[in-house]
Amino acid sequence: MISAADLERLAEIELKEEEEVEEGERQSYSAERPAPTPPQSGVGPDPSHPYYDVARHGILQVTGDDHYGRKLIIFSSCCMPPSYQLNHHRLLEYLKYTLDQYVEMDYTVVYFHYGLKSSNKPSLKWLQEAYNEFGRKYKKNLKALYVVHPTNFIRIVWNIFKPFISHKFGKKLTYVNYLAELRGHLDYEQLVIPADVLRHDERLRAAQKGGPPLLVKSPPPRPPLPTQQFGVSLQYIREKNRDAIIPPVVFQTVSYLKENGLKTEGIFRRSARVQTIKDVQKLYNLGKPVSFELYGDIHVPAVILKTFLRELPEPLLTFPLYSQVLDIIGVESSLRVSTCQRLVQSLPEHNFIVLKYLLSFLHMVTQESIVNKMSPSNLACVFGVNLLWPPRGAVAMSALAPINIFTEILVEHYDSIFNSRCPPGQVTP
C-alpha cells in the first residue's frame, strides 16, 4: 500500500509538471493575446476582521445565491500566497468561521483550482484534517461542489479521499472544464472570478482543437413575452398586468407562505428540486396558473420568491442605494433606524410599495421565530443579497455585513421604517 509520504511526493510531482506546462502555455499565449480585464469585486475586508490575516488575500468569497436559491461560496486557489506567508491552520479556522454563517441553509461551493502550486499548496495531511473537521452539518447542506479547471492533481487527491467520502457526498461533485459551463448553474455575471482564472480559461480555449471557438457569440436576446415575470423590470410587469401594483409572483408566493409556511422550520433556508423551480418559472412566464399545493413542498414558493427578486434587472433597493447602504456600517447604532428609514423613503414609489409588502411579510415570519427559527438576522442573511447588489460585478465579501445589517433593521423595525404608507390590501399593524 502506498504511504502518505509517497502520495505527498506524487502530488508534488504532478503539481510541478502542471506548472511547467502552464508556464509554457502562458508565454506562448501572452505573446498573441492581451489579458482580460479583471472583475471589480470591491474593497477588501475591514482590518478589524477576526481573521483579517487570512481574509485579506481574497481566497474566499460569498456572492449571493445560485439559480436554485442556494448560498454561493467561492474558493480561489490562485489567491493563496506561498505557504510560508499563510498559516494553514488559521485558513481552516477562517473557512469554518465563514461557513458557520451559512451552513444552516443549503449552499453551493465553487472551487477555482487554477493557481494551486507546489509553493502554496497545503499538505495532504491538512486536507484530510480539513475534511474531518467539516462535520455533518457542513456536508449535509452542501448541495453542489463545482471544481473548475480540474487537473491530474485533483484526481489524485480525489482517489486518496474516495474511501473516506460517502457516495451521497461524491454525487454532489461536478467537474467544470471551462468557465462558460457555469452559466447553466449560476449567475455568471455575479461571480467573483480572479483575473488569473479568466486568463487561464482564455488560454485553455485558445488551445482547444476542434471544440467550440474561443469567442462564442451569444444569440441576440429575445424580446420578453407579454406574460413574462422573471428577468424583467417591475415597471414592465406592472404595465403588462393591468397595473397590478404587487407583481403576481410576489403576491402569490407571499399569500401561500402566509397561509402555509409561517411555522416551517428553516423557511427560506432550503432549496427545492431544480426541475420543479424551472417548471414553475416557465408557467409564470407563459402566463399560466400556478398551484403550489400540487408540489407538496413549502420550499418551492419560498425559492420562487427569492428567485424572482434575484432575477430583477435592477435590485428592488435599486442601484443608487448600493453605496449608501454600505455606509450604514459607519453610522452610530442609535441613528441606524432613522438612516434606513430615510434611504427607504428615497426609493421610487413602486419599489417602495413592493418592498413594504415584502418586508411586512418577513416581519410576520419573525413573529413565529420560536418555531421557524428565522430571526431578523437569519432572514437578512438569506434576503440581503437578493434585495441589493452593485451595478457591475459581484457583491464583495466586505459588503455582506452592511447589506445584512441594513436588511435586518428593515425586518426588525418594520413598523417604524414603513409607517408612511400601507401596502395594498393590508392594514398597518
3-class SS of residue 347: coil
- DSSP result, 266-308: TTTTS---HHHHHHHHHHHHTT----GGGGT-THHHHHHHHHH
Q: What's the confidence (pLDDT) of residue 213? A: 47
Phi-psi category of residue 333: left, alpha or beta, with phi > 0 → left and psi -120 to 50 → alpha? alpha
Q: Is the four-CA dihedral 31, 37, 43, 45 of positive or negative sign? A: negative
Q: Assign domain 4-207 one CATH number from 1.20.120.420, 3.40.50.261, 3.40.50.300, 3.40.525.10.
A: 3.40.525.10
CB count within 10 Å of CB 130 equals 15
- DSSP result, 98-155: HHTTTTTS-EEEEEE-TT--TTTPPPHHHHHHHHHHS-HHHHHSEEEEEEES--HHHH
**DSSP code, position 85:** G
Query: pTM of the predicted model, to two decimals?
Result: 0.74
Q: What's the confidence (pLDDT) of residue 356? A: 96
**C-alpha to C-alpha distance for 73 and 270, rounded to whole angstroms:** 16
**C-alpha to C-alpha distance for 298 and 220, rounded to whole angstroms:** 36
pLDDT tens string, the chain, 429 residues long: the values are 445 565 556 555 555 555 555 555 555 555 444 444 444 444 466 787 889 899 999 999 887 778 777 888 999 999 999 999 999 999 999 998 988 888 788 889 999 999 888 888 888 778 778 877 877 778 888 888 899 998 877 776 776 666 656 667 778 888 899 999 888 778 777 788 899 999 989 888 887 764 454 444 455 667 888 999 999 999 999 999 887 899 999 999 999 999 999 999 999 988 888 889 999 999 999 999 999 999 999 999 999 999 999 999 999 999 999 999 999 999 999 999 999 999 999 999 999 999 999 999 999 999 999 999 999 999 999 999 999 999 887 787 788 889 999 999 999 999 999 975 554 444 444
Joined grid coordinates for residue 305: 420568491
**C-alpha to C-alpha distance for 60 and 192, rounded to whole angstroms:** 10
CB count within 10 Å of CB 297 equals 14
3-class SS of residue 62: strand
Q: What's the confidence (pLDDT) of residue 111? A: 92
Joined grid coordinates for residue 206: 485558445
Kindly list the domain boundaries of the chain, sorted by start residue.
Answer: 4-207, 234-417
Q: Assign domain 234-417 one CATH number from 3.40.50.300, 1.10.10.410, 1.20.20.10, 1.10.555.10.
A: 1.10.555.10
3-class SS of residue 192: coil
